[in-house]
Amino acid sequence: MKKLITFALLLFSVTVFSQDAFLQKDNEVLEKEADKITRTYNAELSLTAKQQALFQKKVEEFLILRKNIEFNNSGKAKLDLLYSMQKNETAEMGDILTRPQLDLYKNIKKEIQPLETVENQ
């Protein structure tokens, strides 16, 4: 139930902030970042041309969502949303990658796209 609520909140935040001018300004920056991330993964995953195009679009989509979460949340709530988002991203990559590629993607994702950590004070 908790996962369902978190996912619903995640989808709601995407819908509410989809026309946010803040994100529209950063779209080119995020597109370049998505390209860089895709090239890094491609070196390990050996993506086909079609996979690479789909992969890059998916990465860009989740970078926008990540920026949204980081801009509108803080602390543990932010980390929980980022964790849920990253889990959804991995699941959606399963539609693009082959099984061996997905297994490798899961292993290297922590290094290429690490989550933030919350430090105890």
pLDDT tens-digit profile of 15-61?
555 554 444 556 889 999 999 999 999 999 999 999 999 999 999 99
Residue 95 has pLDDT above 80, yes or no: yes
This prediction's pTM: 0.74
pLDDT for the residue numbered 115: 79
Instruction: Tell me what pLDDT residue 4 has.
Output: 63
Q: How many angstroms separate the CA atoms of 85 and 51, rounded? A: 21
Q: How far apart are CA 60 and CA 113, in angstroms?
A: 13
